[in-house]
Structure 1
Amino acid sequence: MSDDRKDLPPAALRALAEAEERRKKDKAEAKDLPKELGGRDGPDPARYGDWEKKGIAIDF
């Protein structure tokens, strides 16, 4: 455990451990998904509102 985490309350340490487990699980599940072909490059369009590709409106 790093020095900066020594001062955290037990609930915070537990939350950090749970978050790390979720990240590991998500990463393992992502490996099982097929690779997307012809998908968007760059930021997620749902998050940034960019719904066009080369001037053509796209949907998913």
Structure 2
Amino acid sequence: MSEKIEPTAAIEGAAPGAALSPAAQRALEEAAARRKAATAAPAPAEKGGPSGPEPTRYGDWERKGRAVDF
């Protein structure tokens, strides 16, 4: 390898002071951007779902007499 590997500055997910190749730095930066985008996007509202608490949280797999198999 002829590339000079320098310690990382402050890339999220990298060990402090770790020497990473430019490809590894790009991969960590892309992963940090994907994580940031995933947490920033709000989840869409559920249509036709149960009102109130989730009925399957205690292992109940039926609602109003209708069995549901996922």
Structure having greater relative contact order (Cα 8 Å, sep ≥ 6): 2
The one-letter code sitting in structure 2 at the alignment partner of 1:20 is A
Considering only aligned residues, what root-mean-square deviation do their CA atoms show, in Å?
A: 2.8
1:16-27 alignment runs, 5 A limit = 16-27=28-39
Which residue of 2 is the match for residue 45 of structure 1? none
TM-score normalised by L of structure 1: 0.51
Gaps of 5+ in 2: 1-9, 11-15, 62-66
Gaps of 5+ in 1: 42-52
Report runs of 4+ in structure 1 exceeding 3 Å deviation. Answer: 54-57
The one-letter code sitting in structure 1 at the alignment partner of 2:38 is D
* Separation in 2, partners of 1:14, 1:23: 14
Question: Which structure's CA Rg is the greater one?
Answer: 2
TM-score normalised by L of structure 2: 0.46
Once the two structures are superposed, residues 9-46 of structure 1 have per-residue CA deviations (whole angstroms, 9 ceiling, x without a partner) of 000000000000001111112x24237751755xxxxx
- Structure (1/2) with the larger helix percentage: 1
